[in-house]
Structure 1
Amino acid sequence: MDFIRRALLSMKAKKGRTLLLSAVFSAILIFVLAGLTIRSAALTATENAKKSVGATVTLSTNRESSIRRAESSDGSSERFDPGSFSVTPVNLEDAEKIAALDNVKSYSFISSSSAGATDDIIPISSEDETTDSASTETAEGGTNGFGGGGMMGGGEQTGDGAAMMQSDFQVTGVMDLSMYSGFSEGTSTIVEGEAISSADEDTNNVVIEQTLADANELSVGDTFTITSPDDEDTTYEVTVKGIFETSESGSSMGMMFNFLNPSNTLYSSYTFANTLKGDDSEGTIDSASYSLTDPEKMEAFVEEAEALIDTDTFSLQTNDQMYQSMLQPLNNVASFARNIVILVAVAGVIILTLIVMMTIRERRYEIGVLLSMGEARAKVIMQFFTEIFVCMLIALAVASVSGNVVGNVVGEQLIQQQTESSQTAANGNDNAQMAGGGPGGQQGNMGGGPGNFGSLGASSQEAAAQIEDMDIKVTAEQIAMLAGMGLMISFGSILLSSIGIIRLQPRKILTT
């Protein structure tokens, strides 16, 4: 073990050289550790993303199949007959069977209908619409401009003289209002009372908008009546369970028709929405949405769910866009961090090899004396390795202390760049959905379509926040990995440098 003693004495005698090797090795290990911590944090954030965001699968009517059924019955023409199109509601039992499958984190049902106003409540409408509706209903013998809904288009009639009635309220039946788009994204919030939940099934509880509540002097616990969308003589008494406010401004169509105004949206249980639609809707829903625990198993879930339904009538639509939008920047960060580790490790081997080779050149006489005294070449090589190993231990201690700081600085810069890209893409998608989704982006509420389940798991803002919260910190496992990489770098540099030691001849060294 004399080579260890000689290595320590040599390091003590050549303090400058020792400090140089320690400083170079520290810089190498700091950046290697930064890469390891950033990559580990990105992988952890990816796992958390699976739990927080998941993927969404929506069960609804197969529109393509419905259109095919609406084509000419004789098969002579492929022209779509608009008068024969119909939508088959989703069977509630089938939706519940799918909800019982593995990998379902949460689920919600939706059923939409409409309702007319009575003397108890006045819907929010524009002055022009009120005037038109009032004059129209006066001509038809109606009570006032707000009762039971005005005439759509200012009193235009169909060919048979029957009036096209406009509903005053849009009734959106949900299972859990907190999971509904708008409330999950934060554009709508409960300001008084409570939201609709599964406990409100088979009740007439509703949540109304604050403007509508203030205009009609309604508060939590009050009741009012609304009419059936098909029969003005059929009324239902509803109880105000909560009041919400929304930042949605609606659209120009909302100024023309009451039911398109966001202030005239009533949220209830899906069972009450079915009641408004009639007895034929009992035990059915418009659509169901399922948030999955693990997005990577989405395809397997769809295959299992399709075995429980009639795929000719219903379809399962998948949406893991939020998960993918979050996954991409995290994967980019992890890939960049891996490249940092590889590049710095390779550069470290090259730099240390050059330094050690320069050291060997300066210590040729020392090596010649040792070899002439019978010292094995392997022990001479081990002496140099011991010197590098001691410098590595010093560098490991320095990197353990400062590597976390460097990792956070580099990681935050990477995350900021990736988050900005993710938010830009997400905002573009949100704006596109808002523009194409009717008032407040609520597309599909009236047509029995999937409804607003695009944000069942999390909103784009939540996705960006998840990325920004990537926790970069040094762990014992990473220190162990760093020590292993430090040994590899030390072995690599000494292995390349030892070629010169093996080729040296003692007599030639001492005689030159």
Structure 2
Amino acid sequence: MNFFKRAWLNVWAKKGRSVLLILVSSAILMFVLAGLLIRSAAVKATETAKTDAGATMTLSANRQAAFKKMQSSSSSSSSKSSRPKLTLTPVKLSDAKRIAKLSNIKSYNVTSSTTANAKSYETVSTSTGMSDSSGGGPGGMKSTSSSSGDTQINGVTATALTTDFTDNQSKITKGRGIKASDQGTNNVVIEKDLASQNNLTVGDTMTIKETTGSKSTRKVKVVGIYKASSTSSVSAGPMSTDPANTIYASYTLANTIKGSKYTGTADSVTFNVTNPAKASATKKAGNKLISSKYALSTDDASYQAIKASMDSVEGFANKIVWLVAIAGTIILALIVILMIRERRFEIGVLLSLGEARWKIVAQFFTEMLMVIVVALAIAGVGGQFVGNQLGSQLVSQSTTTQTSSSRTSGQPGGSGQPGGGSGGMRGGAGGPGSTTNSTKTKNPDLEITVSAVDLAELGGFGLAITFLSIMIASGGILRLEPKKVLIS
């Protein structure tokens, strides 16, 4: 009788022991499979985050270089009246277009901000404990300086590419947003409160008054109305206006209002990176295309937060796999050792009949292999459930809410722009010359599914655990003497 047949007869005859081995093996393999599934799901979630979370790269004036230049000019100047001012160079769109041709750039958004005074409408007033500002009829409130108006104009390539709209901080409620096709037009998108206060709707025209040069008036057409999620400007300071007074337009219109010397320039250009993992390499390539007057900065905080969390989940899943595999090997080895001690007489008889020791070891391995096959099927059914439960717990513990505040100050315009024009005052909650973004990053749910690859990998672990446990326990078989076994 060959050892395959003996193994089958023994498994069938000892049903209670076989069921116990199946249950133990199923539990071990189930947790091993859960770890494998969580690990693969974490890797998949990290890959998905490359497109969902995304990353951006911003081209703007190099403030540090401009500050050093100002200091050197200041040290060489002895007259206080001729003390130099911080001068930031507007970004050339030609440079931005060269960077946009890099392989890892998906799209880009040009930003050019300025201010104007209301002429045919009233601005939304905000009262604080420090001051009380009001629209005061056509023309709005009186500006706090000769170069800043009561209406903030944010010039962009498209509103759909701005963080306010992509993060759902602002939402189009009527009409449409600004598009790339609006370049060279006077189309604008206004805030809902400003529209309600002045009975404006899509298709109406507004008149604004420039704050520099000839201070001429300009008619703009409302093509859309948006709703901002927050209209509080308490932290903005006395120099700012209510966020409802922010108008979105094409960057070409903002440049026209700022003056002819700003044609073909921008305050900053934001590039959307296709693969956040290669953001640093893309930044290095972009730096080679620009002069020292400009600087490139990357923002992949959302991707890095998700990646760090998923790396933590993946690392914990690896620990589950190896700890359960090692513990399972030890447990099965102990069970097999006890099983061998019960079958010492059977082993002695087989050895006395001339059966090779390796065949006896192979018989025990075959018995365990039959058990593992059944346990593998059970683990394949229950492993996904266990994996989902463990995965949800791990993700809930690793979910982080990251609040990032970025301040961008001294852009071309305002008091820091060349010539002291009306370019860069940033109204709203951020205060002059700054923007503050608060973003929440939530980890993606793990999509845990059992695939043929996972089952094949689990089968490999099952074979390895079985082989190691049999090898550990077979040391006693190799040392047995048939005569001593039969006499005892």
Instruction: Tell me the amino acid that sits aligned with residue 283 of structure 1.
Output: G
Please show how residues 153-168 of structure 1 align to structure 2 within 5 Å: 164=146, 166-168=148-150
Describe the shift of the 1:48–1:226 C-alpha distance in structure 2 as closer, same or farther (beyond 3 A).
same
Describe the shift of the 1:166–1:300 C-alpha distance in structure 2 as closer, same or farther (beyond 3 A).
closer
Deviations 1:369-409, CA, capped at 9 Å, x for gaps: 00000100011001000110000001000001111001001
1:353 matches 2:329: no
8 Å CA contact 1:23–1:395 kept in 2: the answer is yes
Please report how far the alpha carbon of residue 275 of structure 1 lies from its aligned counterpart in structure 2 after TM superposition.
Answer: 0.6
8 Å CA contact 2:236–2:429 kept in 1: the answer is no
Please report how far the alpha carbon of residue 82 of structure 1 lies from its aligned counterpart in structure 2 after TM superposition.
Answer: 7.0
Match for residue 150 of structure 1?
142
Match for residue 264 of structure 1?
245
1:324 matches 2:304: yes
1:386 matches 2:386: no
Match for residue 201 of structure 1?
183
- SS where residue 116 of structure 1 aligns? strand
Deviations 1:180-236, CA, capped at 9 Å, x for gaps: 122121121110000111111111111001111011110001111101121474111
Instruction: Tell me the amino acid that sits aligned with residue 274 of structure 1.
Output: N
C-alpha separation in 2, matches of 1:133 and 1:213: 16
Match for residue 163 of structure 2?
181
- SS where residue 71 of structure 1 aligns? helix
8 Å CA contact 1:194–1:242 kept in 2: the answer is yes
Describe the shift of the 1:388–1:72 C-alpha distance in structure 2 as closer, same or farther (beyond 3 A).
closer
The worse-fitting range, judged by mean Cα deviation, of 388-397 and 105-114 is 105-114
8 Å CA contact 1:178–1:195 kept in 2: the answer is yes
Deviations 1:398-437, CA, capped at 9 Å, x for gaps: 0011110010011001111111xx12xx14x36x879xx9
Describe the shift of the 1:78–1:493 C-alpha distance in structure 2 as closer, same or farther (beyond 3 A).
farther
| Structure 1 gap segments, 5+ residues each | 135-143, 153-162
Match for residue 288 of structure 1?
269
Please show how residues 250-261 of structure 1 align to structure 2 within 5 Å: 250-252=232-234, 256=238, 260-261=241-242
8 Å CA contact 1:150–1:166 kept in 2: the answer is no
Please report how far the alpha carbon of residue 145 of structure 1 lies from its aligned counterpart in structure 2 after TM superposition.
Answer: 5.6
Please report how far the alpha carbon of residue 301 of structure 1 lies from its aligned counterpart in structure 2 after TM superposition.
Answer: 1.1
CA-based RMSD? 2.7
Please report how far the alpha carbon of residue 313 of structure 1 lies from its aligned counterpart in structure 2 after TM superposition.
Answer: 0.5
Deviations 1:434-486, CA, capped at 9 Å, x for gaps: 9xx9865546xx64x7x67x79xxx53xx41xx23220111110000000110
Instruction: Tell me the amino acid that sits aligned with residue 65 of structure 1.
Output: A
Match for residue 226 of structure 2?
244
- SS where residue 386 of structure 1 aligns? helix
Describe the shift of the 1:397–1:272 C-alpha distance in structure 2 as closer, same or farther (beyond 3 A).
same
Match for residue 455 of structure 2?
479
- SS where residue 449 of structure 2 aligns? coil
8 Å CA contact 1:130–1:145 kept in 2: the answer is no
Please report how far the alpha carbon of residue 276 of structure 1 lies from its aligned counterpart in structure 2 after TM superposition.
Answer: 0.6
Describe the shift of the 1:131–1:485 C-alpha distance in structure 2 as closer, same or farther (beyond 3 A).
closer
8 Å CA contact 1:251–1:438 kept in 2: the answer is no
**Percent of aligned pairs with the same amino acid:** 43
Instruction: Tell me the amino acid that sits aligned with residue 475 of structure 2.
Output: I
C-alpha separation in 1, matches of 2:485 and 2:155: 93
Please report how far the alpha carbon of residue 55 of structure 1 lies from its aligned counterpart in structure 2 after TM superposition.
Answer: 2.1
| Structure 2 gap segments, 5+ residues each | 409-424
C-alpha separation in 1, matches of 2:395 and 2:90: 44
Match for residue 35 of structure 1?
35
Query: How many residue pairs align between the two structures?
Result: 470
- SS where residue 69 of structure 1 aligns? helix
Instruction: Tell me the amino acid that sits aligned with residue 224 of structure 1.
Output: M
Which of 281, 287, 311 aligns to 1:300? It is 281
Q: Normalising by structure 2, what TM-score?
A: 0.90
Describe the shift of the 1:440–1:45 C-alpha distance in structure 2 as closer, same or farther (beyond 3 A).
farther
Match for residue 421 of structure 2?
none
1:412 matches 2:381: no
1:399 matches 2:384: no
Please report how far the alpha carbon of residue 253 of structure 1 lies from its aligned counterpart in structure 2 after TM superposition.
Answer: 6.2
C-alpha separation in 1, matches of 2:328 and 2:252: 68
Instruction: Tell me the amino acid that sits aligned with residue 41 of structure 1.
Output: A
Please show how residues 36-51 of structure 1 align to structure 2 within 5 Å: 36-51=36-51
Please report how far the alpha carbon of residue 316 of structure 1 lies from its aligned counterpart in structure 2 after TM superposition.
Answer: 0.6
8 Å CA contact 2:111–2:251 kept in 1: the answer is yes
Deviations 1:149-170, CA, capped at 9 Å, x for gaps: 5142xxxxxxxxxx74641100
Describe the shift of the 1:39–1:504 C-alpha distance in structure 2 as closer, same or farther (beyond 3 A).
same
C-alpha separation in 1, matches of 2:426 and 2:35: 47
Please show how residues 331-342 of structure 1 align to structure 2 within 5 Å: 331-342=311-322
Q: Normalising by structure 1, what TM-score?
A: 0.86
Match for residue 114 of structure 2?
113
Match for residue 14 of structure 1?
14
- SS where residue 183 of structure 1 aligns? helix
Please report how far the alpha carbon of residue 146 of structure 1 lies from its aligned counterpart in structure 2 after TM superposition.
Answer: 4.7
The worse-fitting range, judged by mean Cα deviation, of 479-488 and 65-74 is 65-74
8 Å CA contact 2:329–2:468 kept in 1: the answer is yes
Describe the shift of the 1:169–1:65 C-alpha distance in structure 2 as closer, same or farther (beyond 3 A).
same
Please report how far the alpha carbon of residue 279 of structure 1 lies from its aligned counterpart in structure 2 after TM superposition.
Answer: 0.2
C-alpha separation in 1, matches of 2:74 and 2:378: 83
Match for residue 412 of structure 2?
none
- SS where residue 73 of structure 1 aligns? helix
8 Å CA contact 1:195–1:242 kept in 2: the answer is yes
Instruction: Tell me the amino acid that sits aligned with residue 465 of structure 2.
Output: I
Please report how far the alpha carbon of residue 251 of structure 1 lies from its aligned counterpart in structure 2 after TM superposition.
Answer: 2.0
C-alpha separation in 2, matches of 1:88 and 1:267: 23
C-alpha separation in 1, matches of 2:77 and 2:86: 16
Please report how far the alpha carbon of residue 71 of structure 1 lies from its aligned counterpart in structure 2 after TM superposition.
Answer: 2.0
8 Å CA contact 1:349–1:493 kept in 2: the answer is yes
Instruction: Tell me the amino acid that sits aligned with residue 342 of structure 1.
Output: W
8 Å CA contact 2:183–2:253 kept in 1: the answer is yes
C-alpha separation in 2, matches of 1:52 and 1:309: 29
8 Å CA contact 2:188–2:247 kept in 1: the answer is yes
Please report how far the alpha carbon of residue 293 of structure 1 lies from its aligned counterpart in structure 2 after TM superposition.
Answer: 1.6
Describe the shift of the 1:74–1:313 C-alpha distance in structure 2 as closer, same or farther (beyond 3 A).
same
Deviations 1:42-92, CA, capped at 9 Å, x for gaps: 000000111222322111000011111212537458999975211110000
Instruction: Tell me the amino acid that sits aligned with residue 370 of structure 2.
Output: V
8 Å CA contact 2:243–2:429 kept in 1: the answer is no
8 Å CA contact 1:36–1:478 kept in 2: the answer is yes
- SS where residue 101 of structure 1 aligns? coil
C-alpha separation in 1, matches of 2:68 and 2:234: 34
8 Å CA contact 1:133–1:146 kept in 2: the answer is no
C-alpha separation in 1, matches of 2:190 and 2:121: 12
Match for residue 495 of structure 1?
471
C-alpha separation in 2, matches of 1:297 and 1:165: 41
Please show how residues 404-483 of structure 1 align to structure 2 within 5 Å: 404-419=384-399, 422-423=400-401, 426-427=402-403, 429=404, 441-442=429-430, 447=433, 459-460=439-440, 463-464=441-442, 467-483=443-459
Instruction: Tell me the amino acid that sits aligned with residue 445 of structure 2.
Output: D
